[in-house]
């Protein structure tokens, strides 16, 4: 869902390992020749799923003690949000992000108060009414026609955080001011479509000059994760133009030549609309939420558009057949292919940990119980990536190299901007733990994807184990990342010396997503019922547009 951190990380990683890279490379190819990649064969197990969800039915058979526990846990999450918000309000109000260690604020996103906007619906859901109203007053005063001088706005990031944040708050509150501001943001970002003749958005716009910044390539997450936000805006404003531009982008992604059905190379050329076939086939950074929006576009329009269902079914089948692998320790994980499916990398990103939740949602909505077993296994791997570290926090990337082997070489390097300052002296190469999980990037930057999957799996299966797992993760977050002011990203999840590991960064997704998903995990299931809402990739709740409100032909 967030591609920038990952790209920069790879740059840093590569630099530090440059001297080892040749050795790696030879070693890695040796591994590939001698070992067959153990791709999971889908064993359909006929799990009985309670096919009702998002209602209070699940609550009736939970005993009152558990309800009380959940209520206490939910309040603990709310207290965490109050602490995070208080830090932001005191030290960074109106800035993009709180810097929890230096106790200041940054304008990393061009000075659009991005943490404040991204948090609006979380404040509303948690009934932090005073804070919500104060934040909303700030939004009223904002001018989205300008950014910090010289700043190039990332269209994907600002669509999911700013446009999505305003729309999510509007869905819960219906204040017309929020919709007006959402439209201002969309009009500024839509300029990106003027940068490509084939109907793709380019990655950046110059907001102050109202011009696209031409880029040769765009990744599928950028071109394919703006659809929910723009379509929702069309529904709410009655103006079809937003929906039309993003539908065209979806069509380009679909019609360009692909060699592996259901899997899409990470990059497309913005001039000819064709894929770069040497790019990764992956569920991680640069690709992730594109796959998410295939299913969620289908849900948003209340199952009216079959083509998105077909696209999701093709991709989930391909993911199960080609990307889900089994480690020697028996854990399922999501690896990635490079170079037109000739090199398999046994490495999973924290970002890819949203996918088990997506599969579970698809299992529910499309009546595909055969996906649920795989979803549950993948979620367990993501949980174990937390559970098996000294802090209980999960690493940014982990691999399944065998003991004594080095992690696979990292070969897709980008000089993209650096959102989080990389700590010096990192990374170290660690021995795999008993599950064979080898940390590659040891940071935990307060990301949501694992708790997101636990939330959806809980809603779909009603299995309280997912609440227990989420509670474990929440406690690790409290214990190790809670600073005097706000919460801080973490350098090394294997080192329990918290203060020595803090990074001066609290990304907006911590309040927008991580804390929201944890809160919803312990809520009665009619709060943001998944029968009524679809959550955007940034966890903003959009009401499902019922069939009889859908006007698709114009
Ligand atoms: C990619 O692989 C497919 C199938 O293996 C093959 O048909 C195709 O020609 C390859 N494309 C390129 C550009 O290498
Ligand atoms: C923890 O890290 C801090 C900051 O680097 C350092 O001053 C302190 O001595 C460390 N504590 C322990 C117990 O290692
Ligand atoms: C759509 O259907 C729902 C449920 O039947 C109904 O409540 C609603 O008023 C209808 N909306 C329109 C625009 O006809």
Q: Does a structural domain hold residue 70?
A: no
Measured distance CA(101)–CA(104) in Å, rounded: 8
CA of 345 to the centre of ligand 1 (A): 19
Measured distance CA(217)–CA(227) in Å, rounded: 19
Q: What tens digit of pLDDT does each residue of 10-51 get?
A: 444 444 444 344 333 333 333 333 333 333 333 333 333 333
**Ligand 1 site, residue 274, Cβ cutoff 6 A:** no
Mean pLDDT of 303-310: 96
CA of 516 to the centre of ligand 3 (A): 30
| pLDDT of 66 | 78
**Better-scored residue on pLDDT, 382 or 346:** 382
Q: Find the radius of gyration of the CA atoms of the chain.
A: 22
| pLDDT of 434 | 73
Mean pLDDT of 379-395: 94
Q: Cβ neighbours of residue 3 under 8 Å, at least 6 residues apart?
A: 156, 219, 221, 222, 285, 286, 288
**Better-scored residue on pLDDT, 532 or 214:** 532
| pLDDT of 99 | 98
Which of 21-30, 140-149, 392-401, 544-553 comes out lowest in average pLDDT?
Answer: 21-30
| pLDDT of 63 | 58
User: Residue 549 CA: which ligand 3 atom is closest?
Assistant: 13
Measured distance CA(208)–CA(313) in Å, rounded: 41
- The residue whose CA is least distant from atom 14 of ligand 3 is 548
**Better-scored residue on pLDDT, 434 or 146:** 146
pLDDT at 410 over 80: no
E-only strand ranges, 93-214: 97-99, 104-106, 153-154, 204-206, 211-213
| pLDDT of 551 | 57
Domain count, the chain: 1
Q: What tens digit of pLDDT does each residue of 140-197 get?
A: 999 999 999 999 999 999 999 999 999 999 999 999 999 999 999 999 999 999 999 9
Choosing from 260, 264, 277, 278 the residue with most ligand 1 atoms within 8 A of its CB, the one to mutate for a pocket test is: 277
Exactly one of 121, 347, 449, 538 is catalytic; name it.
449
Q: Does a structural domain hold residue 256?
A: yes
Measured distance CA(440)–CA(279) in Å, rounded: 21
Q: Does a structural domain hold residue 375?
A: no
Among residues of the chain, what percentage have pLDDT more than 90?
75
**Ligand 2 site, residue 475, Cβ cutoff 6 A:** no
Q: Does a structural domain hold residue 299?
A: yes
Is residue 449 flagged as an active site residue? yes
CA of 505 to the centre of ligand 3 (A): 45
Residue 147: count other Cβ atoms within 10 Å of its Cβ.
Answer: 21
| pLDDT of 430 | 56
- The residue whose CA is least distant from atom 1 of ligand 1 is 340
Mean pLDDT of 377-390: 94
Which of 74-78, 193-197, 410-414 comes out lowest in average pLDDT?
Answer: 410-414
Query: Which protein residues touch ligand 3 with a CB less than 6 Å away?
Result: 546, 548-549
Residue 144: count other Cβ atoms within 10 Å of its Cβ.
Answer: 24
| Closest ligand, as measured to the CA of 547 | 3
- Per-residue pLDDT band at 343 (split at 50, 70, 90): confident
Q: Does a structural domain hold residue 77?
A: no
Which of 65-79, 137-151, 215-229 comes out lowest in average pLDDT?
Answer: 65-79
Model confidence, pTM: 0.85
Q: Cβ neighbours of residue 156 under 8 Å, at least 6 residues apart?
A: 3, 203, 221, 222, 225, 226
| pLDDT of 548 | 63
| pLDDT of 52 | 32
- Per-residue pLDDT band at 435 (split at 50, 70, 90): confident
Q: Does a structural domain hold residue 280?
A: yes
Yes or no: say if 129 and 121 are a contact pair by the CB < 8 Å rule: no
Q: Does a structural domain hold residue 237?
A: yes
Range of the domain at 174: 143-321
- Per-residue pLDDT band at 483 (split at 50, 70, 90): very high
| Closest ligand, as measured to the CA of 337 | 1
Please give the mean pLDDT across all residues of the chain: 85
- The residue whose CA is least distant from atom 3 of ligand 1 is 259
Is residue 131 flagged as an active site residue? no
Is residue 157 flagged as an active site residue? yes
**Better-scored residue on pLDDT, 401 or 409:** 401
| Closest ligand, as measured to the CA of 501 | 2
User: Residue 497 CA: which ligand 2 atom is closest?
Assistant: 1
| pLDDT of 25 | 36
- CATH assignment at residue 169: 1.50.10.10
**Ligand 1 site, residue 259, Cβ cutoff 6 A:** yes
- Per-residue pLDDT band at 199 (split at 50, 70, 90): very high
Q: What phi and psi, each to the nearest 5 degrees, are found at residue 267? A: -120, 145
- Per-residue pLDDT band at 6 (split at 50, 70, 90): very low
Measured distance CA(17)–CA(25) in Å, rounded: 12
Yes or no: say if 501 and 490 are a contact pair by the CB < 8 Å rule: yes
Measured distance CA(223)–CA(389) in Å, rounded: 35
Measured distance CA(363)–CA(372) in Å, rounded: 6
Half-sphere exposure of 510 (CA within 13 A, CB side): 30
- The residue whose CA is least distant from atom 3 of ligand 2 is 500
Choosing from 425, 497, 504 the residue with most ligand 2 atoms within 8 A of its CB, the one to mutate for a pocket test is: 497
Mean pLDDT of 397-410: 55
CA of 343 to the centre of ligand 1 (A): 13
Q: Does a structural domain hold residue 311?
A: yes
CA of 545 to the centre of ligand 3 (A): 10
Which of 180-194, 406-420, 428-442 comes out lowest in average pLDDT?
Answer: 406-420
Count of residues making up the chain: 554
């Amino acid at each position: 869902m967030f591609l920038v951190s990952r790209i920069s990380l790879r740059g840093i990683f590569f630099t530090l390992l440059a001297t080892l890279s040749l050795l790696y490379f030879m070693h890695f190819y040796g591994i590939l020749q001698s070992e067959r990649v153990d791709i999971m064969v889908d064993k359909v197990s006929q799990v009985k799923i309670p096919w009702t969800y998002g209602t209070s039915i699940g609550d009736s058979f939970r005993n009152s003690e558990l309800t009380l526990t959940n209520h206490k846990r939910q309040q603990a999450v709310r207290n965490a949000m109050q602490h995070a918000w208080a830090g932001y309000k005191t030290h960074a109000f109106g800035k993009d992000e709180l810097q929890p260690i230096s106790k200041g604020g940054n304008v990393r996103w061009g000075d659009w108060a991005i943490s404040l906007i991204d948090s609006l619906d979380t404040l509303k859901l948690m009934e932090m009414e005073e804070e919500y109203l104060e934040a909303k007053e700030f939004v009223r005063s904002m001018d989205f026609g300008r950014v910090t001088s010289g700043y190039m706005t990332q269209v994907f990031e600002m669509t999911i955080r700013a446009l999505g944040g305003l729309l999510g708050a509007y869905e819960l509150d219906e204040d017309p001011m929020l919709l007006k501001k959402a439209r201002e943001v969309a009009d500024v970002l839509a300029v990106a479509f003027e940068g490509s003749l084939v109907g793709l958005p380019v990655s950046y716009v110059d907001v102050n000059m109202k011009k696209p910044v031409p880029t040769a390539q765009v990744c599928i997450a950028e071109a394919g994760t703006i659809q929910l936000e723009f379509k929702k805006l069309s529904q709410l404003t009655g103006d079809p133009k937003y929906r039309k531009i993003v539908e065209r982008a979806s069509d380009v992604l679909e019609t360009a030549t692909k060699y592996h059905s259901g899997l899409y190379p990470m990059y497309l050329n913005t001039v000819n609309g064709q894929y770069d076939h040497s790019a990764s086939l992956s569920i991680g950074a640069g690709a992730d939420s594109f796959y998410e929006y295939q299913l969620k576009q289908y849900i948003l329009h209340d199952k009216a558009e079959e083509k998105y269902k077909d696209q999701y079914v093709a991709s989930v089948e391909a993911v199960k057949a080609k990307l889900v692998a089994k480690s020697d320790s028996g854990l399922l994980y999501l690896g990635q292919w490079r170079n037109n499916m000739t090199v398999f990398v046994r490495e999973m990103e924290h970002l890819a940990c949203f996918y088990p939740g997506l599969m579970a949602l698809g299992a529910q909505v499309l009546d595909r119980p055969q996906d649920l077993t795989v979803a549950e296994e993948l979620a367990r791997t993501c949980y174990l990536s937390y559970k098996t570290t000294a802090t209980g926090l999960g690493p940014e990337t982990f691999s399944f190299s065998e003991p004594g082997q080095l992690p696979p070489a990292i070969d897709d390097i980008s000089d993209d901007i650096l959102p989080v300052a990389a700590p010096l002296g990192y990374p170290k190469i660690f021995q795999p733990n008993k599950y064979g999980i080898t940390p590659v990037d040891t940071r935990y930057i307060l990301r949501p994807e694992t708790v997101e999957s636990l939330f959806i799996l809980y809603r779909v299966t009603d299995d309280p184990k997912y609440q227990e797992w989420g509670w474990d993760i929440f406690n690790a977050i409290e214990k190790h990342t809670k600073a005097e002011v706000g919460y801080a990203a973490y350098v090394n999840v294997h080192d329990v010396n918290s203060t020595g590991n803090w990074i001066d960064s609290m990304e907006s997704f911590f309040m927008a997503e991580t804390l929201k998903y944890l809160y919803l995990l312990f809520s009665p299931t009619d709060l943001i019922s998944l029968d009524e809402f679809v959550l955007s990739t940034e966890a903003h709740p959009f009401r499902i547009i019922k069939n009889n409100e859908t006007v698709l032909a114009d």
